[in-house]
Structures are given as C-alpha cells and as structure tokens.
Structure 1
Amino acid sequence: ARLSASAVAADLALTGLPLRLLQRLDLGPRLGGTAEARLTLSGRPDNPDGRATLTMTGVAPTGPSAPDVPPADIAAEARLANGQLALEAALTRLQGAQFQASATLPMQVNLTQGQFLLPPSGAVKGTLTIAADLRRLVFVALALGEDRVEGNVEGTLDLAGTIANPVLSGQASLRQGRYINDATGATLQNINLDIAGEGQSLVLRDVKANDSEGGRLTGAGRISFAGGGTPEVDVKLTLQRLRLINREEGTAVGSGELTLTNDPRNGGDSLLFTGRTRIDQADIRIPDTLPPSVTSLDVREINIDARTNIGERAKQRQIARQKAATAPRAPGLMDGLRLDLITEIPGQVYVRGRGLDAEFRGTVRVTGTATAPVISGDVSVVRGVFNFAGQRFNLDRGNINLIPSEGGGLEIALDILAVANVADIEAQIAIAGEVLEPQITLNSSPSLPQDEILSRILFGTNTGSLTAGQAARLAQSALELTGKISSGGVVDDLRQSFGLDTLEVDAGDGNSGAGVRAGRYINDKLFIGVNQGLGAESSAVVVEYRFLKNVTIESRIGAASAGDIGIVYERRY
C-alpha cells in the first residue's frame, strides 16, 4: 500500500480466515465458516477509485446454544468510482431461498483528510429482493439469539430519491409466521403482516397473530425518513387475552396496548417502548417435589458441532446461558431503547401447589432500558390458605417479587406467611425463595423448635408425648412439607429427642419412593431398625447381628414379605 499527496495505491487481501476467531477477539458472535476479503485503491487521494469484496463460506452459528439453521454463503462487493458508491450483497447456497440487495449512492472520499461524506442532494437508488423462510436466514437467527422465528417472507422494496429525501416503493409480506420466545415460552402463530414503501415512509400494516388458546395480537405502524434526520417511528400493537407466559412453572394471559415511538427526552434520537397492559389471568405452579441438587462439572468438549443428541444439546444450551449471564456484555442495538411499561394485576393471579392456594393483585412497572430493565411494584395477596397436615392456615402476608436476571430472564420469588392457632401456640409457616425451589420454615409464638411446632400441628402435643409411630409420621410430614430434608434441622432434632442412633428421611428418586428409616443399637453387635415408606405395604423391620468381626447376619420382615435373611462378609483393604 502507498499513499502520497498525489496518488494512492493499495492491494490488500485476506484469505482463509476462520470466522470463529471473531468471537475469540470479541469482534462478533460464535460462527463457523471461513472468510476471504480484498481491497484495492487507486487514483488521487481526494477522489480515489476502489473495490472491496467479501466472501464468507459455510456461515452458521455454532456452539451448544446455536439455532439450527443451514450454513450459507455470503458475497458482498463495493465499488467506488467518480464519486459514486455501488453496493451489492447476496446470500447464496440456500435451497429455495433468495436474498439480494443492491444500492448506488453518492460518496465523497478524501483519504488525506479522512473524510467520507454523503451529499444530501445526491441521488440514491436501491433494491432489496427476498423470498425465503425466515428460519433459513442466518442473520435472522443471530439477531434473535435464543428466540426462534419462522415463516415465508416474499417481496421487493425499492429506494429512489436523494440522501435527504429518500423515496420508498414496493412491498413485502410475511405469511404463516411463528415466533417462540425462549425466556417466557410464549408462542405466536399465524403471523401475517405487510411492509410497504410509501414515499418517504415505510409502512407496517395488517399485523395479525394469535396464540394456541384464542388470544390475539394486532397492530400497525410507520417509520418516516422525511427531513433527513433521525427516522420517526410510530408502531402500535394491541393484545387481547394473549398468552404472555407459557412455562412449566406458570402461565399468564394479558391484554393492553404497546407502542414504540421516538423518545422525547433526547430529541427523538433514541426509541421509547411504552405499554399499558393488564394481566387477565395467571397461574403460578409450585412443584409438588423439588429437583435434586446437581453439581455442575467443568467439561471441555470437542467436535461439538457434530452432536446430534437433542437432550444433550438442550443441557449444553442451559450451561451456556448460565455462563453468558456472568460474562461481560458488549454494547448492543437495544442499549438505547428506554422502557415505560405498567402492568395492572386486578386479581385472578393464582399461586398453587404444595398446599398453597392463593390469589394476588398489584401493579408492576418496568423502566430502565431493554438491556438493563428495572422492575418495581407491589404484588400482594388478596385471599388464600395453606393446607398442611389437616390444618388450615390463613395467609397473613403474601408477596410475589419479580426479579430480573442477567440475559433478559426473570426469576419469581415468594414471600408468604401462613398462620393458624394449634394446641397452645400460634404456628407460622413461612414460604420464601425462588418459585421452583422455595424454602419452607416453621416458627411459632411463643417460640419453639421446629420439631415441637410440627408435633403440635400434627398431634396437638409436644414431642415428648409421641409414640414411635407418631414420630415416624412426624418425619414423613417434614418430608411432605419441605420436599427434601438434609440430615440436620427437624430430622436431627427428632433423632436426639427419641434417643435414636439413625433417623433418615428420603425424598426418593425416579426408582424408589419416599420413606423414613429409624434405628438403634441395642449393644455393639445388635442393631434394630424400622423402614416406613409412604405406602401401607412398605413397612419393614430390619435386624442386624454381627457375630464375627467381618460377618453379619441381616434379617428383614415386611408387610409385603414373610421375611428375608442373609449373611454379609465384609473386609476393608
């Protein structure tokens, strides 16, 4: 390359660049494929001629959370001559899909002064032609991230006029589209819309979509390029009992209006997303049993692009999301989108499960920006009860906290207090924490240990008056209340109260049910235990007698069997 006051000459080439390097250098998303580029310049520095080409082959998102889109080839070319810049771009190697764009516009280039100007009065001309299923377009998949969109889009849009006063014409349509939001589980189907160029505006009309339960979304809008400054945006969407959340732990149906306009706070240079909506009905479900804790292992994978196991890919996508939540985030297009969303909850928002049945109401407001939302509001209980061990607890306090998590997710946290007068105390059950794994604790007035509170709830008396059978039921009720119990807390208190050597409460798994195991050493050789499951036929008495150093006789007599006996030989190395 050579640059002087009178001439410029350059011929730069790049070949065989792996696109995965872009992600490693924080220059782009994680992509597969290779790129080649070439730049040539000649002529005078104040009015040079030039040509730039870019070819990318086999471009597709990679990684465990990558959307399933076919690889594409991308070819782009820019030619600069006599103050005119000609641009062409196309997606190729997409069977049954077409995407081509071309444009010509004025550009004044002065390399000596570092100027690149677009004269406002200069003529422009351009064409965009598309005919494809959106799910096959790699750049659409990259823009949506974890979300998914599909549908046939077809049409041609033309550009004419000048830089200051562009003139748009043509039309494009989306038919039978479908959109799935990864964070909320919401799905829009039968999406139909038209986009038309009308003079200095791009018009969005006849937006229609529905969910699977009869909810509807309609809308229209306009983007005006008149005046040569920041485009004026005015888009409005109307929701009619649309399913907004459709997840395993809850569903929600809402109505209202959403608008996207220029933000008046900064002269309209950025956008404002406004919403006035209400939740018509919602049902948040607390699981009856809690998932076991799983230790996350740091695994290094190879040949990940070749994986075909769908379940494994789903697990890896979850791990990738967790890592992305803690990783520094690069600036994005949505950073300047300001939010002003208010959602009214007049009632009929129910939280059910594990004995809880409650209705809530309140107001939630979302401000901040799309990438850093701030959620505030007050959601409190209208009425509700908590049923446990035959006792009816009234809800004295109930709040639902909506906590935004990094990466655009949302956590639902509970803060609920249920009270009932039992025996000689006021028993209190507190439910707090994330909706998928709430923490349940017992308190009382006057203050007592948790096992004493539970004993009064179940039997109306203290633990010192319980029989062995009642003690087993007490442990089972602790299991029912919490879903899983460690060796400490209530169980450990019970073990010490009854003078037992072992007391275990097992929440069960996919192969075995829940149960209680209790036992005591009569002497250093004889151990007697009782196993009690949740079924009537699952009780058993276990006797272990060690008559030699390494030899033990084990006998088991249960309700479903006449008895078993075995000899166990054990030797430690």
Structure 2
Amino acid sequence: MAVDIAELPLSIANGFSPGLGLGGKLAGGAKVAGPIAAPTGDYDLRVTGLTAAAAKGVPALQITSKGALASGRVTTDTAVTGGGGVRITANGSAPLSATGPLDVAIAIRNVPLSLANGFSPGLGANGTLQGEAKVAGTASAPAGTYALRVTGLSTQATRGAGVPAASIDAKGRLDGQRVFTNTVVTAASGLRVTANGSAPLGAGDLDLQVGGRAPLGFLNDTLSVSGDRIDGTATFDVKVGGPTSAPRINGSGALQNASYSNRAAGLQLRGLSASVVANGTNINVASLRATTRNGGTISGSGRVAVDPAAGFPGEINFQANNAEVVGTDIVTAITDANLKLEGPLARRPVINGTIRTRSVEIQIPDRIPAQYTPLPGVRHRNAPAAVTRQLAALNTGGGKGGSKDDAFLATLDIDVQAENRIFIRGMGMTAEAGGQIKITGTSAAPVPVGAFQLRQGRSSITVIGKRLNFTRGQVGFAGDLDPTLDFLAETPAKGITAQVLISGNASSPKIEFTSNPAVPQDEVLSRLLFDKSSGELSPSQAITLAQAVAQYSGVGGGGAGPLDSLRKGLGVDNLDLGGGSGGGLFGLGIGKYISDNIYLGVTQGTSPRPPA
C-alpha cells in the first residue's frame, strides 16, 4: 500500500476538535507492505507552518520525519525546527511492541517553556530548555542518560512572589522504574538549591537529598507593596524519603542574623535567627528569636506536620518580652505577649492569645496638620515594577483588605490588656488611659476594636500656659492603628465653664473650644487665657490670642514639642510645667512608674516673695 499526500491542510482536524486550533500543511508519502504482525516499508513526511491553540505565541514550526518499518521495529530521523533557533531532533529506533528494546537519541535546542502555557493557561511559564537524552531498555523499564538545562525559568506564581528567574542544570539516568538525578538550581542574589538521589517513575519511595541557601532579599520587591522588608539567608539540608503520597522529611534548616521591618507599623526585628529540625512526618521549630528596636525580644517554638492534604497543620507559640512592636510617629507600643499560631498553616490558621502592654505612647501633633488636596490627573510614567504593584494595591484597596492569594493569611483573635500607661501627648495635652481592646480580622487586615478609658488624676491639657484637667477621655480603635480620641477638659473662666474638646484621629485631631453658656471660640479662649472678654484685651494679649487660634486651627507644622523631647531625655513618664498652685508663679511635676501598679510623682512650685 502506498500513500501520497500532496498538500493536506491540518485545519481539517479542527472540525472534529475545535479547540485544537491547528494550522499548517502536511505533505509526503508512505509505503507499507507485509503482514500486520510484521509490516515493512518506509515513510517521508513534512509539516510546514504548524501552529496550535495550545502553543499560542510560539512561532510556526516545521517538521521533517523519515524512517522505515522492518523486523518489528520503526526507525526515525525526525527534526522539529522553528523561529528563534528552536530545534528538536530524535534519531534511532523503537519496537512496534511493548517488549522490544528502545534505542533513541534526543537533542533539544532553544525550546521556549511558554509552550506549556497552552496546556495550563494560568502557568505563565517563561524560559528556555536545552538538553540531550539517550533512551534504551524497554518501554516498561527504560534505561538511559539525560542532561537538561533551563535558563530564565519563571512562572506567574514565582514572579508574583518576587522570586528571581532561575537556571536549572540537571543530569542523571533512567534505571528501570527509577530516575536518578543530580540537579542544581541557581538564581540571582546567591540563591542555590541542589537535589541528589532518585525518585520512582510511578508509585514508590523517594530517596532525595536536598540542600541549599536562599537569600531572603529577593522577596523585597513583592513585600514592598505592604511596606515590609526582610534580609538574611536561610540554609537547609534535608533528606526526603517515604512514598510519594506521604513523604517523610529529615534534616535541618537555619536562619542567622537576619532582619525584618514593617514600615506601616514601624516594627523592626534585628538579629533574627531560627533553627528548624525535621524528623519524618513533623517539622519542629526548635528556636526562633529576634531583638526589637528597643532591645526587647521575641521568641518562638512549635511544630508543623508534613501533611500537604491537610494544609500542613501546626502549632507555633510566640512570646514577646519588653518588645517594641509598633514604632510610628503616631504610636509607640512596648509589650509582653503570649500568642499561638495554630491550624492548617497553608490555608487559614488562627493567631490567638494575649498581649499585655508595658507602655503605649500616642503622640498627636503639637499643631494641627494643614490640610491638602492631591493634584488631579497625576500619572506615573516608567515606574519600576515594585512601584507599579504598590500603586495597584493602593488603588484597589489591596493594601488593607488582603486577598485569598496572599502568601500567608491568618485569622486574628487577640486580647490586648493595658491597665495603665497608655499615654497621649502633644498639643499641650498629657493624659493616661488604660483598659482592654480586641484585635480581630486577618493578618493582612487587622481590625483593633474597643477603647482605653481615661485614668483620672494625671491627665490635663495646657493651653498657652493655662492648665485644664480632663473630666472625660477615651482612646478608641475602629479598625486601624490610628486611634480616635474623645477627650473633654473644662474649668471655670469669667462667668462661663470653658471646655476643650479633642476628637478625631490621633494623626489629625480636631480641637474645639466651647463653653456653657455658649460663646464664640475666640471669646472662650480670651476668658480662658486672660480671664477677660475679647473686647478687654491689650494689643499684646490680642496677638497671643491670635497665635492660639492659629495653633489650634491647622496653621503651621506638627511634631513633638521641646517639653516632650526633654521628658524622653530624662527617662520619665510625666513631665509637667505650669502655673504654681495657690497663685504660684511656676510649677514643675515629674512622675514615673517604678512597677506595674506603683507610680511615684513629685511636684514643686514657687511663689512670689515680697522683698524684706
């Protein structure tokens, strides 16, 4: 029987399977003789302009294949070529049955890994494959050698995680039912992973030794979207055994002298170290330790089960001791804590426990920040990839909500206890609060809820030298780390009760001067500061009144004042300068907590002394 094909369009196949999207033409011929059990003959086929939906974006391929049928075997001399230097060749012979020996040599040059994207659209593979292989043995028990090289390897997932493009150099052999490998993976920044040993071609036991070093800095392009940064190098050396359905891992990993910071919370961890030991079905976190900016410590330990089907369930306990966990211009928090991370770590674990504050400083600006409006129509041109991702996250709310695609997402159930030492300072205000709040939400979008209540006796506001004691106060949280304020101070002032109301967020508080009975704001300030109505002020007093109005209405900059800088330099919890009691000219008060529940304060005043 002889078959001649002049020019057959491959698109004919699309009528039977529209998803193929085939293009190109087939030409050539074949001659077949002899019985079906032992055919003889030869073939010479050519395909030009081959395209397919599964190979979208890949240049058209050309295929030439020649060979013969004889003695129960088929020989081939096949070449696949395409643009960009793509070339795959296969030469040798194979049995027509499943029992005869294989004898095939394969060479691969410049094959784009994007071919795989047609079969897995979300893969987003990039890179180039080169290699050689010689296959012998039988189809049921192949033998041979191989050498494969991949350059520029990346996928949509690895690019999204900020992992640099990798190179793979793999050499090994086939021996019956197992494949033996000596593989090295390298990437920028010194990333290097090696794998040596064997794995089954089907079901069976693994026998691999895997080790390497991974500088964590490669994650920073992705972490920068949320204001995170990590530096340091992780090392590991493990043996992977057991069946492919339930692998067992034995070995160790370590992290030494690393650092982590989060710009949004002002958290800084230094000297970050960890030791991990794997013993079969469990990975034990033997130690985890870091030092915070103020010299406090965070430590942890626990275990994780090597059970992919269950989402790697585990339990890791964390302790904090005198640790500064928030350090922004608005809030500084130093805490002790006992927290537990438990559940399927690769899915949606839970973080629960208790945080006990040692001190929290909430610094409000000494002047109300001036308001501004962003310029409309501003566009970023040629922005780096990291900036583009950050802008996209902000524009879509990704900086707050988190998503199911976050690398790690945990549910939060944390109690924050603070009996005292919640200090609110700035704009002449010194107040102390305490209480409890709850942190819920997720690790990507924590939601603090609740309020700290005013502690009476050491809370006041000084308005241009005039001191008022607070009669009401609350620091509330409604979803972020910028708390809301609700404070009221009042005092008698020339026929009225002058009131100072502080509300709004700590980053941009609102100051209102009211009174009972009600009078205009400048009149309240005049009676409060000078015990006079505004019409009775001298020129210098009028200037002072104007300055006060400007200070509390948003004119000028912010920041901590000199009195607060002096307090921090002295290392005390309270420093108060004001008028002396009983008509004194000057009063000084200093106080500090000497234990959790004991506060020591000293007040000294001066009085005018008549000449002798």
Give the shorter-chain TM-score range.
Answer: 0.5 to 0.7
| Residue 488 (structure 1) aligns with | none
| Residue 397 (structure 1) aligns with | 472
1: distance between equivalents of 2:492 and 2:123? 62
| Residue 192 (structure 1) aligns with | 273
| Residue 565 (structure 1) aligns with | none
| Residue 568 (structure 1) aligns with | none
Structure 1 residues 159-197: Cα deviation after superposition (integer angstroms, max 9, x where no partner): 110245421111111111111112211111111111121
| Residue 452 (structure 1) aligns with | 523
Alignment partner for residue 300 of structure 2, among 219, 231, 238? 219
Structure-to-structure mapping, 1:213-292, within 5 angstroms = 213-225=294-306, 229-262=310-343, 270-292=348-370
Match of 2:513, as an amino acid?
L
Alignment partner for residue 178 of structure 1, among 251, 255, 259? 259
**Cα offset for 1:58?**
9.2
The answer (yes or no) to whether the contact 2:365–2:558 under 8 Å persists in 1 is: no
| Residue 92 (structure 1) aligns with | 186
1: distance between equivalents of 2:243 and 2:235? 26
**Cα offset for 1:154?**
1.7
1: distance between equivalents of 2:191 and 2:285? 23
* Change in 2 beyond 3 A, CA 1:319/1:365: same
Alignment partner for residue 378 of structure 2, among 295, 299, 302? 299
Structure 1 residues 480-506: Cα deviation after superposition (integer angstroms, max 9, x where no partner): 33342xxxxxxxxxxxxxxxxxxxxxx
Structure-to-structure mapping, 1:308-319, within 5 angstroms = none
Look up the SS of the partner of 1:478 in the other structure: helix
Alignment partner for residue 494 of structure 2, among 410, 419, 423? 423
| Residue 242 (structure 2) aligns with | 161
Work out whether 1:142 is the aligned partner of 2:232: no
The answer (yes or no) to whether the contact 1:98–1:130 under 8 Å persists in 2 is: yes
The answer (yes or no) to whether the contact 1:334–1:370 under 8 Å persists in 2 is: no
The answer (yes or no) to whether the contact 1:209–1:217 under 8 Å persists in 2 is: yes
| Residue 503 (structure 2) aligns with | 432
* Change in 2 beyond 3 A, CA 1:126/1:416: farther
Structure 1 residues 126-184: Cα deviation after superposition (integer angstroms, max 9, x where no partner): 4442224321xx34653674311111222212211024542111111111111111221
* Change in 2 beyond 3 A, CA 1:200/1:403: same
2: distance between equivalents of 1:388 and 1:349? 22
1: distance between equivalents of 2:347 and 2:233? 33
| Residue 480 (structure 1) aligns with | 551
Match of 1:385, as an amino acid?
S
Work out whether 1:343 is the aligned partner of 2:434: no
2: distance between equivalents of 1:477 and 1:347? 31
2: distance between equivalents of 1:324 and 1:389? 44
The answer (yes or no) to whether the contact 2:228–2:263 under 8 Å persists in 1 is: yes
Q: Which runs of 5 or more residues in structure 1 are unaligned?
A: 40-46, 109-118, 308-312, 485-506, 511-573
Match of 1:282, as an amino acid?
V
Structure 1 residues 209-258: Cα deviation after superposition (integer angstroms, max 9, x where no partner): 11232211121111123696443301011111111111122311000211
* Change in 2 beyond 3 A, CA 1:330/1:258: closer
Work out whether 1:124 is the aligned partner of 2:124: no
2: distance between equivalents of 1:356 and 1:368? 32
Look up the SS of the partner of 1:479 in the other structure: helix
| Residue 360 (structure 1) aligns with | 433
The answer to which of 151-160 and 9-18 deviates more is: 9-18
Match of 2:510, as an amino acid?
Q
2: distance between equivalents of 1:479 and 1:444? 19
Match of 2:186, as an amino acid?
T
| Residue 325 (structure 1) aligns with | 397
2: distance between equivalents of 1:355 and 1:422? 19
Structure 1 residues 114-134: Cα deviation after superposition (integer angstroms, max 9, x where no partner): xxxxx7xx4334444222432
| Residue 31 (structure 2) aligns with | none
Structure 1 residues 71-129: Cα deviation after superposition (integer angstroms, max 9, x where no partner): 5445599x9x9998999986534254423468976788xxxxxxxxxx7xx43344442
* Change in 2 beyond 3 A, CA 1:399/1:426: same
**Cα offset for 1:259?**
0.7
TM-score of the superposition, structure 1-length normalised?
0.64
| Residue 310 (structure 1) aligns with | none
| Residue 546 (structure 1) aligns with | none
Work out whether 1:35 is the aligned partner of 2:118: no
Cα RMSD (Å): 4.8
2: distance between equivalents of 1:320 and 1:479? 38
1: distance between equivalents of 2:323 and 2:315? 22
Work out whether 1:441 is the aligned partner of 2:520: no
The answer (yes or no) to whether the contact 2:496–2:515 under 8 Å persists in 1 is: yes
Mark the structure with the bigger radius of gyration: 2
1: distance between equivalents of 2:253 and 2:549? 62
**Cα offset for 1:336?**
5.9
**Cα offset for 1:360?**
0.9
Look up the SS of the partner of 1:452 in the other structure: helix
2: distance between equivalents of 1:476 and 1:455? 12
2: distance between equivalents of 1:89 and 1:294? 57
The answer (yes or no) to whether the contact 1:346–1:362 under 8 Å persists in 2 is: yes
2: distance between equivalents of 1:219 and 1:442? 50
The answer (yes or no) to whether the contact 1:287–1:436 under 8 Å persists in 2 is: yes
The answer (yes or no) to whether the contact 1:147–1:182 under 8 Å persists in 2 is: yes
* Change in 2 beyond 3 A, CA 1:429/1:95: closer
**Cα offset for 1:203?**
1.1
Structure 1 residues 394-431: Cα deviation after superposition (integer angstroms, max 9, x where no partner): 111111122335xxxx3222111111111111111111
1: distance between equivalents of 2:558 and 2:493? 33
**Cα offset for 1:319?**
6.3
**Cα offset for 1:392?**
1.6
Match of 2:193, as an amino acid?
F
The answer (yes or no) to whether the contact 1:185–1:247 under 8 Å persists in 2 is: yes
2: distance between equivalents of 1:124 and 1:295? 62
Look up the SS of the partner of 1:453 in the other structure: helix
Structure 1 residues 246-290: Cα deviation after superposition (integer angstroms, max 9, x where no partner): 1122311000211111279xxx97411112110111211122234
The answer (yes or no) to whether the contact 2:270–2:293 under 8 Å persists in 1 is: yes
Match of 1:325, as an amino acid?
G
Structure 1 residues 462-487: Cα deviation after superposition (integer angstroms, max 9, x where no partner): 22333444322221121233342xxx
The answer (yes or no) to whether the contact 1:72–1:91 under 8 Å persists in 2 is: no
- Percent identical among aligned pairs is 24
| Residue 470 (structure 1) aligns with | 541
The answer (yes or no) to whether the contact 1:415–1:430 under 8 Å persists in 2 is: yes
2: distance between equivalents of 1:263 and 1:444? 57
Q: Which runs of 5 or more residues in structure 2 are unaligned?
A: 1-9, 23-51, 59-83, 85-111, 131-139, 143-147, 560-612
